[in-house]
Amino acid sequence: MKEEQIYEKIADLLADTRNTVVVTGAGISTEAGIPDFRGEKGIYRTLGEDKVLSLLNIKTFRKKPRDFYDFYRNYFMMPQVKPSRAHCLLAEMEKKGLIRAVVTQNIDNLHQEAGSKRVIAVHGNAERFVCTKFTCNTLVDADYVRNFPEIIPKCPQCESILKPDVVLFGEPIKNHRQARDIILSAQLLVVIGSSLTVYPLAGFVGEYCASRKNFIIINKGPTALDHVSTVKLETNHTGDALEQICNHL
Ligand code: NAD
Ligand code: ZN
């Protein structure tokens, strides 16, 4: 299929239902300036996957909080970037009733900043930190941690250690049931910027594909479910691609 025909086909599928769910991964935020893990500049390549898995881990956070925060501050205190064109277009499409919800693996808060209202963030949100003392649970924003005078940030209420409100390796994902339910109840599923290899979200998408046929992938490079997609749009520019699709609606 030519590119033009692909845009048209995707627009037709979107126009056919009021029940489209979008699943996004790190690839939607690379144009905003946040590298993904698997790409050329990604930390799986620069540091090695094993190192990332062991440092970005709940056990390291508990047992060696200084090692954890040395690493986390260097690589995960997200640069303060703005949502990309793709984030903004998804928010507009939700407003127009073209998208029911966004389920994201990203922790960058960019869908919410762009104005998307129904965002299910399964890996949490790096803009928030939460007190680890069970009875306190105070929340602070990332700026509080950025400005904290020590490497290990402490709660302003009780001085216990703060934890990023993100899912670390060894922790269960957030909103598991809600994410699965909304994906499985969709009439059209659109995946943007994900390799579909990170579980359990990739598993929910696989389950959807087992019983539904309307499945679109917009991504640079292969994904684990290309073979069952109705349409695969290969692109490095998710914002341009969504703009073209919207022009065909
Ligand atoms: P992933 O599995 O979501 O893969 C990213 C995919 O996006 C890759 O296939 C890549 O080729 C593609 N991609 C990259 N740039 C693109 C572009 N401009 N246009 C279209 N496609 C593009 O994610 P990952 O990198 O393997 O990271 C694993 C997990 O780590 C993520 O699911 C997420 O939880 C977390 N993470 C989050 C952020 C963020 O919040 N922005 C960034 C990095 C990693
Ligand atoms: Zn506290």
pLDDT in tens, 57-92: 999 999 999 999 999 999 888 667 999 999 999 999
CA of 152 to the centre of ligand 2 (A): 14
Residue for token pair 């970005």:
56
Q: Three-state SS for 121?
A: strand
Please check the confidence at residue 188 and state whether its pLDDT lies above 90: yes
List active site positions. Answer: 123
In the three-class reduction of DSSP (H, G, I as helix; E, B as strand; rest coil), residue 8 is classed as: helix
Query: What is the residue-wise DSSP string for 172-216?
Result: PPSSHHHHHHHHHT-SEEEEES--S-STTHHHHHHHHHHH---EE
What would the mean pLDDT of 158-165 be, rounded to a whole number? 98
Query: Is-cis flag, bond preceding 200, omega within 30?
Result: yes
Residue-averaged pLDDT of the chain: 95
The domain 1-34+83-123+173-249 is classified under which CATH number: 3.40.50.1220, 3.40.140.10, 3.40.50.300, 2.40.110.10?
3.40.50.1220
| Separation between Cα atoms, residue 86 and residue 31, nearest integer Å | 9
For the ranges 31-45, 170-184, 193-207, the lowest mean pLDDT is seen at 31-45
CA of 121 to the centre of ligand 1 (A): 14
Q: What is the CA radius of gyration of the chain?
A: 19
- Cβ atoms of 101 and 21 within 8 Å: the answer is yes
Per-residue confidence at 235, pLDDT binned at 50, 70, 90?
Answer: very high
What are 163's two structure tokens?
Answer: 């934890």
Length of the chain: 249
Of all protein residues, the one whose alpha carbon is nearest to atom 34 of ligand 1 is 105
Smallest-distance ligand from the CA of 28: 1
Local structure of residue 26 (DSSP, 8 states): G
Q: Would you list the domain boundaries of the chain? A: 1-34+83-123+173-249
pLDDT surpasses 90 at 169: yes
- Mean pLDDT of the region 13-30: 97
- Ligand 1 atom with minimal separation from the 236 CA: 19
Cα(169)–Cα(52) distance, integer angstroms: 9
- Give dist(CA 15, CA 35) in Å, integer: 32
For position 212, what pLDDT does the model report?
86
Pocket of ligand 1 (CB under 6 A): 25-27, 29-31, 34, 36-39, 42, 105-108, 123, 193-195, 197-198, 219-221, 235-236, 238
Ligand 2 being an ion, which residues bring their Cβ within 5 A of it? 131, 133, 136, 138, 155, 157-158, 160
Max distance between CA atoms of the chain, in angstroms, equals 60
Of 88, 86, 90, 85, whose CA–CA distance to 101 is shortest? 90
CA distances from 129 to 109, 116, 121, 140, 160 (A): 13, 22, 15, 5, 12
Dump pLDDT digits (tens) for 144-156: 999 999 999 999 9
Give CA–CA dist 26/111, Å, rounded.
12
C-alpha–C-alpha distance, residues 87 and 112, integer Å: 9
